[in-house]
Amino acid sequence: MKILFVEDHDGFARDLEPVLRQTPGVDNVLRVIDRESAETALRDEQIDLVILDLSIPPNSTVNSPNPEHGQALFHAARELLPGTPIFILTGAEVEKFSRGLARFGNQVKLWGDSKEIETVSFFLKEEVDDLLLRVRAVAEVFVKMNSIAINTRGRDLGLMPIQNQMLKSFANLADGVACDVSLLSGGLSDAKVVKVAAMDKGRRPQALCAGKLGSASVIRSEIEAYEKHARKLGIGACPQLYCAVDVGVGMHGAIFYTLTDDDTAPLFDRLKADPSIGPAVVERVRSGLIRWSEAAIADMVTVADIRRRLIGDDEAAAIEAKFDLGQLREVEERTIQASQSCIHGDLHCGNVLVKSDCNAVLIDFGDAGPGFTSIDPIALELSLVFHPDSVKLGLDEGLLSNLDAWSNLDEFVQDHTLKPMIVACRNWAHDVGGGDQSVIASAYAYAYRQLKYDTVDPGITLAFVAKLSERLARA
């Protein structure tokens, strides 16, 4: 456990710091004396507990301690380290503004533990023994979580220390002593999607989940979208939310969905092993989303409106400037008919988990919300061409080279092993999309977004965008 100790009084710090370091479970005590240095540490370090003297100077060059700097640092710590305990030191009776800080405190369960910990506590400097008792209590919780073993079967999954901590917190919550981890999808973002099992001392699974590890903002969006949109889907379309780890982990977070089958794998992997399952899985995904698509309403929108659902104007402008795509503005101003409903918003094959009986569940609802109904089936199809997991598995072979024929389905797929799945996706898109142009515009939006990444040669993607824009211009 790492403690950030903010104290400008050398004598007091010399007495307390060694005792903190000797506390079982405390690996590091980072002492700083001013607000500026402390704020830097809050941003750059993985801090598990803050001990804060309220009266500190603003920076290392100005020796003018003032409680206003401690108060500002308190608010910064709450913003940058949500749920992390903050122990406030004061050398006199708690002043009025200090008492006001207490209203920001609450009780949280840190690191998967069953005990609730107070997030804001006050200690007079004469009460250092009480402070140390509380530090020991927090350290005990941390030690229990941190003692959980991570088992990747020797594979390097590229997990950061904070991600390992979130996985251990999940296992701790499930009363496990070990956490078996495998990668489901690396994706195109900084988030990782993993399959995790919390194991007890007898190597029996206590919880089996798909977990998404990412930034705090991404996980908050995921939780909100799940509660607002995914819960409205039919039984079996999406897994049950098991838990979230969103306190005590800085500006990071994780969300875990319950899986019912240990032999659950992303659709990319299933297709590599058996391409013939594609149509059946597409049908199950389509059926799972039927409550959304049945509520679709057709309306007149611009091509730009559809593109914005996948990539906003600022990012699109940067891509336009990079690749000299100013000629597309006229196409984006065209008005077409398109059906709108709630959509998943990121329906690539890595977000479709297929069980051993070929039933499918969806995960990663961070982009779920109002959108254009044909985007989901088109994203599912085109992820076979553009997603890095598909490229890694070689599923794109024979599709990427024939991408200029995409608008003519028979010519595009020819005798490809994935033809039945692609046909199922395309039929789904046309059934719910509202017209041919909405389907083409969805593919245009998806391809435009791919220019942010380097999975596929941008020259190929640009040629695809150009072909689609030509089709849109003919309407």
- Residue 388 confidence class, pLDDT cut points 50, 70, 90: very high
Fill in the DSSP letter of residue 276. G
Catalogue all structural domains in the chain, each as residue range(s) with its CATH number: 2-146 (3.40.50.2300), 149-258 (3.30.200), 265-473 (3.90.1200.10)
Count CB-CB contacts under 10 A for residue 292. Answer: 23
Q: Per residue in 318-363, pLDDT tens?
A: 999 999 999 999 999 999 999 999 999 999 999 999 988 889 999 9
Higher-pLDDT residue of 95 and 145 is 145
Residues of 306-337 as b/e, b for ≥16 C-beta within 10 angstroms?
A: bbbbbbeeeebeebbeebebeebeebbebebe
The pair of structure tokens assigned to 62 is 């100005």
CA angle 56, 57, 61 (to 5 degrees): 150
| Mean of all residue pLDDT scores within the chain | 92
- DSSP secondary structure code for residue 198 in this structure: E
Distance CA 92, CA 420 (A): 75
Which one, of 423, 406, 416, lies nearest residue 282 by Cα? 423
Q: How many Cα neighbours within 13 Å face the side chain of 291? A: 12
SS3 label, residue 419: helix
SS3 string of 331-379?
A: HHCCEEEEEEEEECCCCCHHHEEECCCCCEEECCCCCCEEEECCHHHHH
Helices (H), 106-177: 128-146, 161-173
At residue 379, the pLDDT reads: 98
On the question of pLDDT at 101 being above 70, the answer is: no
The DSSP output letter for 95 is P
Q: What percent of the chain has pLDDT over 90?
A: 82
What CA–CA distance (Å, rounded) separates 132 from 16?
9
Q: What's the whole-model pTM score?
A: 0.88
For residue 279, give both structure tokens: 């149509």
**Per this entry, what is the length of the chain?**
475
